[in-house]
Every structure is written in structure tokens, then in C-alpha cells.
Amino acid sequence: MGLVRHVVCAMSGGVDSCVAALILKRRGYSVTGVFMKNWDSLDEKGLCTTEKDCEDAYRVCQALDIPFHQVSYVKEYWNEVFSNLLLEYEKGGTPNPDILCNKYIKFNHFHKYAINSLGADAMATGHYARSSQEDEDVFQQTHTARPTTLFRDRFEIRRPVRLYQGADLLKDQTFFLSQISQDALRQTMFPLAGLTKEFVKKIAAEAGFYHVLKKKESMGICFIGERDFENFILEYLEPKPGNLVSIEDGTVMGTHKGWFTLTLGQRARIGGQRDAWFVVDKDINTGDVFVAPTTNHPALFCDTMQTDRFHWITVDPPPELARTQMMECHFRFIHQMPLVPCTVTLNLDGSLWITLSQPVRALTPGQFAVLYRGNECLGSGKIIQLGPTEYTLMRGREQLTAGAQHREQMTPEPAS
Ligand SMILES: Nc1ncnc2c1ncn2[C@@H]1O[C@H](COP(=O)(O)OP(=O)(O)OP(=O)(O)O)[C@@H](O)[C@H]1O
């Protein structure tokens, strides 16, 4: 990759990507703004914010005097993200559409469109993240109106590019980027890498981008909007009614409309109960969803899991892991949950066994186990299997003790 002159900035119409485009422009790059349309139906209230978001992105491009394009990935999103999502729910898991959207849409189709169709040298997004190619000096000065280094050759190094958390750890979005390809990362700029959200808002205010500053932060799964999740998912999957069964004594506590309407750790709606019950397990063969009383029931806590083939941002696993098959690092499976120390073991098929330093609540198959070393995001793998929960272990110990006592009682006294 040679000199970077032309950058295509993915613009959602939100404050972050609008400021990202502004920063690139101030740095002297030739910038093109592109809005992506990924979903085209309305929510329960008949609302679709896509038109408004597109209009907001367009207004910022006009203010910056840069070209603007709109591109539709509705078909690709349906085939590669949403269909995957439905399959995962049907298998009993809980998928993460934001990670899948970055992997399949933004850092694949959009990346190719930017480079191949628009002839850009690089793409950019408003994610709070940093790649090892980012130049700290440039980022320090991004808020000034003065262009800094023009057209620097950022992509000449052939070492694997690494993904790091951005300066604003509270806004860090590397979790969502943990499945992106090395090829895409190599040609991606994160202009907000060195900035805090507060500072980004200040830049937007100074630039007069009031229409994007007023907007609410995008939260949760964008296409569900304000809809109730159960109603939403039942529009796409056939209801599969089943029982809510107590994990403690097998009592049927109530019914559900399909195991995919519920996720591990979630409060189950059970009528006539004084206390709250929580989903702790699912059996998709019988349709039973197991529930337990109290939010911190031991059946919700587990410290081991297996992933599918792990996706390393740098393509190859860290040398230490490749050499010894074991490595210490940190884990999270929910965006912004505190990082947990862990030991990982590399299996021959590229999957990992992860053992956490302490049990964690509601580890969920289908979610991604994202690993970190220091502030580097190493990549992620989908959780496909959990180890025993605290409850299973407790019951196992109780049964062993009961078995031993029983054997003691049954053993005849030795004849004197
Ligand atoms: N519809 C879209 N069209 C183009 N780019 C998008 C779109 N949605 C998201 N992006 C890109 O992905 C980045 C992260 O999006 P996300 O919605 O996760 O975060 P955000 O912090 O709300 O960003 P923003 O404030 O820019 O909306 C955005 O900054 C933008 O670069």
C-alpha cells in the first residue's frame, strides 16, 4: 500500500463519524462520506431512522464540502448477518449482531466498496479504537484547524497490524471489532483513537454540527428499535412453546413461546411467583428452559468455556501460545464488562479452552469471548460450549458425599 490520499469515511449521521470525517479533512486527506443502509423495515411505531440519519450525514458532508454517497447492503445484511442471527437463536444461543455487522458488512463489503469501487487508499470509521498504524503525533493535533502531515505513507509496514483500545476506555469499541480481518484493519483509520467522547462533542459543537450533537446515542440492536424483543423475534421464527422448569426440583413453573425468546441470565416472566426467577439453561431437544430462583443462583456461574476456531486479529496466534499451547490474558464477553484474568489453551483445530480466574455470571453460548493483553484486543471466538456451572459442581459433590455415607452405612462391621 502506498501513500494515503483518498479516505472513505463511513458516516452513520452520528456525532462520532461526523467528527471523524472532519478530522480527516482537517488533516488534509481527500475525504468521501458514505452512508450505509442495512435494514429497511419499520419498527412497531412505524419509525425508521435511516432516512433521517442519511440526511444528517449528507448535511455534514455538505458543510465539509466533501462528496457524499449512499450504499445499500440490505441484501448482504439479511444473508450474512440476520440469517446467521436467526440460526444461532434456533440453536439455543444468543448471537451478537454488532460484531457480525462489523465482520461481514463494514469491514468486508464496505471496505471493498471503498477501495475497489471508490478508489480510496483507506477507509475510516468513528469507532473508539486504535490500530498499531495510527500515528500518535497526528492524533494529538487533530482538533486544530491546521492540517498536519499530509499524505503520509501509513501502510508501508508489512508486520501484522494490531488492534488497540482507544484513549477513551469508557467508550472503547474494540469488543465489537474483534472479528474484523487483518486486510481490512490494514486499510482502516480510526480518527477518534486518541480522543475522548467529551472532546469529540466539543469538536462537533465548535464545527456547528448541532443537528448530530442532539441525537441520542445508538443503543442495542439497531434494527429492533424500541420493539419488545419477544414480539420482534416471533415475526421471524415459528413459535415453539415449551416449559419453564425449575432446575432445583424439576417442577414446571410456567411456559414460554420458544427458547429463542429467552437468553441465559435473563429474568423469566413467571406468573404468581413472589420472587424473581432467572433463565439458567436450555434444552432445545425437549424445548425445556430451566430457571432458578435468585439472580445470583450458582447455576448461573461458570468459569470454563470452549470457543469455535478463534479469530486472531493478527491472523496467527501469539507466538507464546503457538509454542506452549497456553497463555495468560484477559477476557470479556459483554461490551464494557470488567476484564477477567484467564488462561487459554489452544486446541489442534484452532479452538480455545478458556479458564477464568473466577466464575462469571451468565456466560452465554453464541456470544463472543473477546481476549485482551494489556490494551491490545487479540480477537475473539464464539462460545460454543460451557464447562460445569457452580451448581453442577455443588450437586456433584453432594452426590459424592451422599454416596460415600451410603457406602459407609452399608459396609458390615468387621467381625471381632
Ligand atoms: N449506517 C451507517 N453508515 C455508515 N457508517 C456507519 C453506519 N453505522 C455505523 N457506521 C460506522 O460505524 C461506526 C460505529 O458505529 P456505531 O453505531 O457502533 O457507533 P456510534 O458510536 O454510535 O457512532 P456514530 O456516533 O458515528 O453513529 C460509526 O462511527 C460509523 O463510522
Three-state SS annotation for 153-194: CCCCCCCCCCEEECCCCCCCCHHHHCCCCHHHHHCEECCCCC
Nearest CA to ligand 1 atom 21: 16
Q: Is 7 in the pocket of ligand 1 (CB under 6 A)?
A: no
Structure confidence at residue 214 (pLDDT): 86
The atom number, within ligand 1, closest to the CA of 215 reads 25
Can you give the residue ranges of every domain in the chain? 6-139+159-213, 238-295, 299-391
Query: Is the distance from the beta carbon of residue 111 to the nearest atom of ligand 1 less than 6 Å?
Result: no
Catalytic residue set? 101, 222
Identify the pLDDT of residue 152: 44
Task: Report the pLDDT value the prediction gives residue 226, as an integer from 0 to 100.
Answer: 63
pLDDT for the residue 410 = 74
Contact 131/209 with Cβ under 8 angstroms? no
- CATH 3.40.50.620 corresponds to the domain 238-295: no
CA–centroid distance, 41 to ligand 1, in Å, is 19
pLDDT (0 to 100) of residue 267:
94
Smallest CA separation from ligand 1 atom 7, residue: 12
Paired strand residues for 382: 368
Characterise 199 by phi-psi region: left (phi > 0), alpha (psi -120 to 50), beta (else).
Answer: alpha
Among the atoms of ligand 1, which is closest to the Cα of residue 128? 21
Does ligand 1 come within 6 angstroms of the Cβ of 14? Answer: yes
Helix (H) or strand (E) holding 247: none
11 Cβ closer than 6 Å to some ligand 1 atom: yes
Tens digit of pLDDT at every position of the chain (416 positions): 567 999 999 999 999 999 999 999 999 999 999 999 998 766 556 566 788 899 999 999 999 999 999 999 999 999 999 999 999 999 999 999 999 999 999 999 999 999 999 999 999 999 999 999 875 443 333 444 344 444 444 444 568 999 999 999 999 999 999 999 999 999 999 999 999 999 999 999 999 999 999 887 765 455 666 668 898 899 999 999 999 999 999 999 999 999 999 999 999 988 888 889 999 999 999 999 999 999 999 999 999 999 999 999 999 999 999 999 999 999 999 999 999 999 999 999 999 999 999 999 999 999 999 999 999 999 999 999 999 999 988 888 877 787 777 777 777 666 65
Cα(14) to ligand 1 centroid in Å equals 7
Question: 172 CB less than 6 Å from ligand 1?
Answer: no
Q: Ligand 1 centre from 161 Cα, in Å?
A: 22
In sequence order, the β-bridge partners of residue 189 are 124
In this structure, the residue with its CA closest to atom 23 of ligand 1 is 16
Residue 147, helix vs strand vs coil: coil
Q: Which of 9, 11, 12, when mutated, tests ligand 1's pocket best, judged by the most ligand atoms within 8 Å of its CB?
A: 12
Please tell me the predicted confidence (pLDDT) of residue 403.
Answer: 74
Distance between CA atoms of 402 and 379, rounded to whole angstroms? Answer: 44
Distance CA 276, CA 182 (A): 45
Is the CB of residue 69 less than 8 Å from the CB of residue 33? yes
Residue of the nearest CA to atom 24 in ligand 1?
Answer: 14
The letter for the amino acid at 259 is W
Q: How far is the CA of 105 from the centre of ligand 1 (A)?
A: 12
3 state DSSP class of 161: coil
Q: Tell me whether residue 45 is exposed, middle or buried, using C-beta atoms within 10 angstroms of its C-beta: 0 to 12, 13 to 18, 19 or more.
A: exposed
DSSP state of 351: E
In DSSP notation, 53-115 reads HHHHHHHHHHHHT--EEEEE-HHHIIIIIIHHHHHHHHTT----HHHHHIIIIIIIIIHHIII
Q: How far is CA 192 from the centre of its chain?
A: 19
Say yes or no: CB of residue 125 within 6 Å of ligand 1. yes
Binding site membership of 93 for ligand 1 (Cβ less than 6 Å): no
ipTM of the complex: 0.98
**242 three-class SS:** strand
Q: Which CATH class is domain 6-139+159-213?
A: alpha beta
Ligand 1 pocket, mutate which of 17, 50, 196, 336 (most atoms under 8 A from CB): 17
Class of domain 299-391: mainly beta
Grid cell for residue 394: 455443588
pLDDT at residue number 140: 37
Q: How far is the CA of 106 from the centre of ligand 1 (A)?
A: 9
**What b/e sequence results for 342-359 when a residue is b if at least 16 CB atoms lie within 10 Å of its CB, and e otherwise?**
bebebeeeebbbbebeeb
Name the closest-CA residue to atom 9, ligand 1. Answer: 12
